[in-house]
Structure 1
């Protein structure tokens, strides 16, 4: 039945001319992103299948759609991707959706109209996101970077937060710590869940339990202070704190020091993200995990180039986090 759908059928459904339908389906002519989107949606709805050309000309352009508002995650990943793509004679067209699905949709349509060879969809956190389903039969390769797609058939690259959580506990254990507490961000974040899964596994292997229940809050330094005060007020002795980001770790360290405790002699503290300003310029340099965002960007770009060259890639690739040891866990 799909083969019987004609351009006239699509034109009637989209309320445009047959010529407009032809331009939209063949990515030619001057059409607005909205018109192209309406036509391609009508074609999909009717079950129209475009004949695939034997070869597809390449523009040498890669579209990168970022959802990261402040660039903290996007900038290093973009750097890694650009270095890889530039070496392969591709240029990057960067847009920012600011986490707005409608704006993301518009950016994708505009990039598709420019004839990009592929898309990198860059998220601002590791929570899985819905897959991009262009309102079209456009066959544009897509790789999801940092925020993986919920569709296992898609190609995604993100960091291995489960392994990082386990390694954080193992590091504290290697420093002789046994009474460990955890300060987390919001409970619903995937990064929180994954790091805690890894931490729980490492504690179980060591035959230990957390000294106090995990303290959930936000990602801000102020919560690191508040949570640390709550732990100390509980009266339960601790000698190590795993904070799920560096801001929390900085707040924890400052509170411990305000209470007359030495870091790391009395309490060792470990963080995550390895943000230079936060991790290195506080009262005690913070041992932290680097999520290797540049490598995530590089690997995403390589996979996208593979797909463009006709080598399909599926599933989620996990990039390990690197432990950067500083004074908060190892005294100098």
Structure 2
């Protein structure tokens, strides 16, 4: 006998979606009773409610999100619109937002506009078409940006790590001035009196606020911040290196440098070390950001200001939930920063060994 032909391939019928009608039939109750049981409504006996839920689980029933949205008048979705394509600031912020919103069973749509106005408008239109319950707008800098236009939809919009000038808007920002005061007061409390600041471009609001915060802390101790100790340039490691070299050539009294970012601080430390300056014995260094991949890898490990972006995101999520519920409190809210103490300032503290390392590891992953 010859070889048998291959068995014919028979396409299997796609498994049908289990409906509320199927659950009602299997449980021996009406559709209305199933709806009440699964939505926690009605005056049903607990035994009946649990039996219906068990039947729904056994059949693999999944509620129809669209139907639920129509029933409740909400989509239980939120848009997160960002221009921070690098993710340095938006990712820790986003995880905090999602921590809060996921507890409220809300799904977050992440939209990266890449600083493209047309692309941002398309994202906004798409989010509005999906009937999101709210929108959170964030960026890679805290300076003011144009407000998001949601037309006459009345969808609440919240700004986090960015701001708008409209008086009826809510913007949530880190307190840059408070963070700078915290760093400066720490250096002063450990005997440093000749402190310079190396930071980013002056047109950044964060640079101006950190300068004001440092100056305020120095003035409270009867000290000033002379112009030759303020060096502003790009947000780059190379600028930190260049600025530190300038300071060493012009200021023999210098005993501390407060940097506007961890990247700048790393360049500063490289320049000091190459010139034979002992850190922190001769000159202490403090950064800003607590970017774990830089702060913990720098030698010595970098003392730095943490903007607590994860916590800021959690707070933003809770405020958006309040706005969705109808509570509106516009204005600018600035949340406090914290100081993470490591070796570069000369006062390493065991208080940071657990919490600091946890934050640093999370940011390394980001």
TM-score bracket for the superposition, by shorter chain length? 0.7 to 0.9
Paired position in structure 2 for 1:188 = 203
**Cα distance in 2 for residues equivalent to 1:101 and 1:214:** 35
Paired position in structure 2 for 1:151 = 166
**Cα distance in 2 for residues equivalent to 1:313 and 1:67:** 25
Q: What does the per-residue CA deviation read over 1:138-161, in whole Å, with 9 as the maximum and x for residues that have no partner?
A: 111011011022223211111000
Q: What does the per-residue CA deviation read over 1:197-224, in whole Å, with 9 as the maximum and x for residues that have no partner?
A: 1111111111112363311111111100
Q: What does the per-residue CA deviation read over 1:161-216, in whole Å, with 9 as the maximum and x for residues that have no partner?
A: 01111111111101100011110111111110110111111111111123633111
Paired position in structure 1 for 2:120 = 104
Q: Which runs of 4+ in 1 moved over 3 A?
A: none
Classify the secondary structure of the residue corresponding to 1:65.
Answer: strand
- Report the TM-score, using the length of structure 2 for normalisation: 0.74
Classify the secondary structure of the residue corresponding to 2:235.
Answer: coil
How far the C-alpha of 1:253 sits from its partner, in A, is 1.0
Q: What does the per-residue CA deviation read over 1:10-61, in whole Å, with 9 as the maximum and x for residues that have no partner?
A: xxxxxxxxxxxxxxxxxxxxxxxxxxxxxxxxxxxxxxxxxxxxx9810011
**Cα distance in 2 for residues equivalent to 1:312 and 1:187:** 33
Residue 251 (str. 1) matches residue 267 (str. 2): yes
Alignment match of 1:89 (pick from 105, 116, 125) = 105
**Cα distance in 2 for residues equivalent to 1:150 and 1:263:** 42
Residue 122 (str. 1) matches residue 138 (str. 2): yes
Alignment match of 2:214 (pick from 174, 193, 199) = 199
**Cα distance in 2 for residues equivalent to 1:306 and 1:56:** 17
Q: Number of residues paired by the alignment?
A: 277
Structure 2 unmatched runs, 5+: 1-70, 349-366
How far the C-alpha of 1:313 sits from its partner, in A, is 2.1
Alignment match of 1:176 (pick from 166, 191, 207) = 191
**Cα distance in 1 for residues equivalent to 2:347 and 2:205:** 32
Classify the secondary structure of the residue corresponding to 1:76.
Answer: helix
Residue 285 (str. 1) matches residue 301 (str. 2): yes
Classify the secondary structure of the residue corresponding to 2:209.
Answer: helix
User: Relative to 1, partners in 2 of residues 1:127 and 1:284: Cα closer, same or farther, differing over 3 Å?
Assistant: same
**Cα distance in 2 for residues equivalent to 1:309 and 1:331:** 46
How far the C-alpha of 1:133 sits from its partner, in A, is 2.2
C-alpha RMSD over aligned residues: 1.4
| Contact 1:152/1:316 (<8 A) preserved | no
Classify the secondary structure of the residue corresponding to 1:92.
Answer: strand
**Cα distance in 2 for residues equivalent to 1:175 and 1:213:** 19
Q: What does the per-residue CA deviation read over 1:248-294, in whole Å, with 9 as the maximum and x for residues that have no partner?
A: 11111111111111100100000000000110102210000111111
**Cα distance in 1 for residues equivalent to 2:219 and 2:159:** 33
Residue 294 (str. 1) matches residue 314 (str. 2): no
How far the C-alpha of 1:112 sits from its partner, in A, is 0.3
Alignment match of 2:253 (pick from 232, 237, 250) = 237
**Cα distance in 2 for residues equivalent to 1:295 and 1:149:** 21
